Amino acid sequence: MDGSALRLVLREGRSPLADLADDVLDRLAGAAVTKTLSKGEVLFNEGDPARWAYLLVAGGVRLVRADHHGREQVLHSVRRGESFAEAAFFGEGTYPA
């Protein structure tokens, strides 16, 4: 994905990152890694080391946590153009969900 494609995705999600300078977006796009998941596939688990922050380019992602009975609780539904897991990546260092 090049910087202009990245900017389009960011604008769709109304991300504040869309306002970054073109050269910064070009560098981000150059460092980005594309990962494709199948429906139901797990991207990361609660407590895993936070190695990446993510930007959803297509589809949808649910951030979930199991309650004390093992039932799934949806914490957030991520849509195209939204970023997620930044707080874990830049903060505590593990994914909270």
> Residue 11 forms beta bridges with which residues?
none
pLDDT beyond 90 at 30: no
Give the pairing type, strands 54-55 and 83-84. antiparallel
Check residue 59 and give its pLDDT: 92
Amino acid 22: pLDDT: 82
The DSSP string of the chain is --HHHHHHHHHHTT-GGGGS-HHHHHHHHHH-------TT--S--TTSB----EE--SS-EEEEEE-TTS-EEEEEEE-TT-EESHHHHHTTSB---
Cβ proximity of 17 and 53 under 8 Å? no
Q: What is the phi/psi pair of residue 20, to 5°?
A: -65, 155
What is residue 60's predicted lDDT score, i.e. its pLDDT? 94
In the prediction, which pLDDT does 20 show?
A: 81
| Residue whose structure tokens are 């951030």 | 63
